Amino acid sequence: MVILGLGLLILGGIAILSAVFVSEPGSGGELLGFDVTTLESFFVGVAAGAAILWGFSILKWGTRRSLAHRKERKELTELNAKLERVEAERRSDDPERRDAV
């Protein structure tokens, strides 16, 4: 998800930068090799802005999700270690098991 969010941010940024630096003032100009009108240029800007916002939200959601996953994995590892210690203590304290071994 993080990669998808970064991709959308980069694509939106490229579209905006190409529209700003390539198009001529007053006319629609050319955008990535295509002739566009002023209205089409506006819609490209709106779509690029939406892509940037969507990419940022996906990036934020993916980062939050991966951090929560890491935290949960750490807690499970700690609980597993604690359980193994308790089981080891139980085995060493159990007299029936000591005689059987």
pLDDT, tens digit (0-9, with 9 covering 90-100), for 8-56 = 888 888 877 777 776 566 555 666 677 777 787 788 888 888 888 888 8
Residues 62, 67, 70, 75: what is their CA dihedral angle, to the nearest 10 degrees? -140
Q: Give the pTM.
A: 0.58
Q: What single DSSP character describes residue 101? A: -
Q: Which residues contact 5 (CB under 8 A, 6 or more apart)?
A: 55, 56, 57, 58, 59, 60, 61, 62
Q: Which residues lie closer than 8 Å to 96 by C-beta, 6 or more apart?
A: none
